[in-house]
Chains A and B, each alone.
Chain A
């Protein structure tokens, strides 16, 4: 979704689109006169690819993220972590079709949210079409709704990385519903919908570096600060119970991320191919870079470091996927990996917050590096797809403004959502349950018998 999506229902090309044109890859096609729009036709190849991408993103959540996060927690909290991720993703799917989609991508509306005309998917039928980035080429709107639905679901699940092992299941559900409503839907609208604030500013975010990763990372940090540290952190030995599971989760995330990034082209075309190759090489470079920086700091290159580097690279390449050349992406991945390493190894202990699974350290920091870096690697002189008249300084101002606004919005919205969850549920499990493990205390089961 590097550009906003126009839904087919009789929409012409508004001035908002024209203002944002320099940031787009296919502006020639979009500059077709609004007076004579080409009739839209559903392309079956694109549709098949988008259906595949959608379920690839689902696989990133279940089991990808669930295993990745679950393996990093202690054995007594494995089921709690996996169940919170799965349940909050399901909640996001239901809210999405009720009012999330219309808030983010409905007709009308303003800078911050769309209109509510598509609440409960009103008026959408199997014949409804969603535009792609090529004039006249569409995919069924139901496919677009599903694709975007998985993004909402994974973003709220990512936030949980900082609060696992101590937050009540009920609190997670209340927090998730409020957070999606006041943080995710507005930011998705602002970045990706044609009427959105950042979209009109021409912000570059191919697949969700800002909407998904900075948003989730900053929210995770704020949530962890309000929730407080786990009992025993950082003096007791709190270590991942299964790096094997984390390794499996990492692989599933990487594979699924091709749906996330290359799917964001909305078509099976060259733009998707660019996103695909970048999702390979930026990630490869980041995985190795993390191990190298471990060595440079006098440690052994570690398996968890490798997995962390992979995810940092995937995060950083997300906004840049179709907005960078492959070699720009390699550099971007390596830089993000190194910066994330220092964030989780030095910044976190120094500041003392308990971001349990480093949702902020990797998604927040990696997302910021990616979002700012995208304004650089987009330049044609660096092999990016930008036009010859690309103005890097202007683009960087836009990128910084988008990142800054997202940070503030996410921080305020998360604070509201967490305190609301606290008022309704008490937020945190009892000390006894936390010691015994949330698997038994919250779910009445053990992961391993």
Chain B
């Protein structure tokens, strides 16, 4: 099993979700996050006090899938979250040792 973590632009979430659902991905976890990479953040000014934060709001998607599906998941995210502009995000893939469905006790691939 693989854990695919994708950091994407917030407005791309629906497209990514749709692309993954089409592949047969049965679920995902989504978190609103902030971070920085090459994309610059905005400058904010409050009564003359200027703050330029590098932190940009992003969405983090976590998907655990069967190892055989991982490459297609990565491809689907890369295609659907792409705008061609700086700040489109990144994808990370990790190995997963074990998975358990709490309600039934099913494990690994059948727990996904």
Which A residues are closer than 8 A to B by beta carbons?
Answer: 231-232, 235-237, 435-436, 440-441, 444-446
B14's partner among A235, A435, A440, A441 (CB-CB below 8 A) is A235
Q: Which A residues touch B46, using CB under 8 A?
A: 445
Q: Which A residues touch B44, using CB under 8 A?
A: 440, 444-446
How far, in angstroms, from A379 to B46 measured CA to CA in the complex? Answer: 57
Whether B11 and A232, one on each chain, are in contact in the complex, defined by CB atoms closer than 8 angstroms, is: yes
Which B residues are closer than 8 A to A by beta carbons?
Answer: 9, 11, 14, 42-46
Residue pairs across A and B with Cβ atoms less than 8 A apart, 14 shown, are A231-B11, A232-B11, A235-B14, A236-B11, A236-B14, A237-B14, A436-B42, A440-B44, A444-B42, A444-B43, A444-B45, A445-B45, A445-B46, A446-B44
Known: A236-B11, A440-B44, A444-B44. 8 other contacts (CB 8 A): A232-B11, A236-B14, A237-B14, A441-B42, A444-B42, A444-B45, A445-B44, A445-B46
Q: Which A residues touch B45, using CB under 8 A?
A: 444-445
Shortest B12–chain A CB gap in Å is 10
Q: Which B residues touch A436, using CB under 8 A?
A: 42
Q: Which residue of chain B has the shortest Cβ distance to A435 in the bound complex?
A: B11
Counting chain B CB atoms within 10 Å of each CB, the highest count among A232, A444, A445 belongs to A444
Q: Which B residues touch A235, using CB under 8 A?
A: 14
Q: Which A residues touch B11, using CB under 8 A?
A: 231-232, 236, 435
Shortest A230–chain B CB gap in Å is 11
Q: Which residue of chain B has the shortest Cβ distance to A76 in the bound complex?
A: B57
How far, in angstroms, from A32 to B9 measured CA to CA in the complex? Answer: 72
Which 10 pairs between the two chains have the least Cβ-Cβ distance? A440-B42, A444-B45, A435-B11, A444-B44, A445-B44, A236-B14, A444-B43, A445-B46, A446-B44, A232-B11
How far, in angstroms, from A231 to B44 measured CA to CA in the complex? Answer: 24
Shortest B42–chain A CB gap in Å is 5
Q: Which B residues touch A445, using CB under 8 A?
A: 44-46
Shortest B44–chain A CB gap in Å is 6
Shortest A438–chain B CB gap in Å is 12
How far, in angstroms, from A440 to B46 measured CA to CA in the complex? Answer: 12
How far, in angstroms, from A435 to B14 measured CA to CA in the complex? Answer: 14
Shortest A197–chain B CB gap in Å is 48
Shortest A441–chain B CB gap in Å is 8
How far, in angstroms, from A236 to B9 measured CA to CA in the complex? Answer: 14
Q: Which A residues touch B43, using CB under 8 A?
A: 444
Shortest B59–chain A CB gap in Å is 12
Q: Which B residues touch A231, using CB under 8 A?
A: 11
Q: Which residue of chain A has the shortest Cβ distance to B41 in the bound complex?
A: A440
How far, in angstroms, from A444 to B53 measured CA to CA in the complex? Answer: 12
How far, in angstroms, from A445 to B44 measured CA to CA in the complex? Answer: 5
How far, in angstroms, from A441 to B9 measured CA to CA in the complex? Answer: 16
How far, in angstroms, from A231 to B43 measured CA to CA in the complex? Answer: 24
Q: Which A residues touch B14, using CB under 8 A?
A: 235-237
How far, in angstroms, from A446 to B43 measured CA to CA in the complex? Answer: 10
